[in-house]
Amino acid sequence: MRLREALASGKVVITAEVAPPKGTDLTAFRESLPYLKGRVDAVNVTDFQSAVVRASSLTLCHLLLEEGLEPVLQITGRDRNRIAIQGELLGAAILGIENVLAITGDHTEIGDDPGAKPVFDLDAVTILQAAKSLSQGRDLAGNPLQGAPDFTLGATVTPCYEPLELQVLKMESKLAAGATFFQTQAVYEVEVMRRFREATAHLGDVKVLVGIIPLKSAGMARFMNKNVPGIRVPEELIEGIEEAPDPVAAGVEAAGELMAALLEEGLCDGFHLMTLGREDLVPGILAAAGLA
């Protein structure tokens, strides 16, 4: 269980993220793995991200294990009731998948089949409660299990959210439910994390991995500012990307510089790299951050 050990060690923890294919072709997935091996402590597999039909997170997590990478099973409350969620968690444990990231999930209205009916029987907090209960040998209804999993539980948080106090309250609920680490929405300013860590100082030694999405163009940055809640890319950074002869390289360098600055001030325990299909950028980002 490398992720749990890495979180406990005090080292800079690096996680990455991959998306299952919309279909059965695993070519892009397999081509991404050499850029992650030996560089990250664990790899999240998204769970029907943005309410879009894809192969299941559980299947890709199993393939990551076979490839020698530590998987993190993302599981949302949107698509399954509590019976199915608990069953999937037990199935993951049977396969040797023991890292879980609990997410409530985007509404189906934003996906590629808006007529799909959402479930939302459990949200992120109650998924954590279910996983914690399973680890203690009972399901949510209190029924005993024949063998219990041993999960490392994670959750998400959005440091650039207003009002920030609501995110802190959610963090408190997720910690009480069993979360031991947090991966954040993408951050682009040191000041955002300064304010966030001040607001969460009372929570003690909470492991926080800052989300990093490298910018590939000014258009991408402006799109996120307009359409993605909880993300704020400063205009100065957008202009720098726009004027750069190689916007992708400039985005990689900016990501690395931010990571180095956050580490210098001790504002995080590591990073969650969300490269959106460009896992080939991971080595360059780590090098730019001084973490190669």
Tell me whether residue 116 is in a domain: yes
What is the CATH number for 131?
A: 3.20.20.220
18 by Cβ neighbours in 10 Å (0-12 / 13-18 / 19+) ranks as buried
Q: Does 126 score more than 70 pLDDT?
A: yes
Tell me whether residue 292 is in a domain: no
pLDDT for residue 106 = 87
Task: Look at the pTM and tell me if it is higher than 0.75.
Answer: yes
- Structural domain including 195 reads 2-285
Q: How far apart are CA 71 and CA 130, in angstroms?
A: 20
pLDDT for residue 1 = 61
Question: Under a CB-based contact definition with an 8 Å cutoff, are residues 222 and 238 in contact?
Answer: yes
Tell me whether residue 290 is in a domain: no
Tell me whether residue 291 is in a domain: no
pLDDT for residue 104 = 96
pLDDT digits (tens, 9 = 90+) for 204-241: 999 999 999 999 999 999 999 999 989 999 999 999 99
Question: Under a CB-based contact definition with an 8 Å cutoff, are residues 238 and 218 in contact?
Answer: yes
Tell me whether residue 255 is in a domain: yes
Tell me whether residue 102 is in a domain: yes
Tell me whether residue 171 is in a domain: yes
pLDDT digits (tens, 9 = 90+) for 142-162: 999 999 999 999 999 999 999
Q: How many domains does the chain have?
A: 1
Tokens of 226: 């307009």
pLDDT digits (tens, 9 = 90+) for 78-97: 999 999 999 999 999 999 99
Tell me whether residue 177 is in a domain: yes
What average pLDDT does the structure give for the chain?
A: 97
Which residues pair with residue 103 across a beta bridge?
76
Contacts of 63 (CB under 8 A, 6+ apart): 26, 29
pLDDT for residue 2 = 86
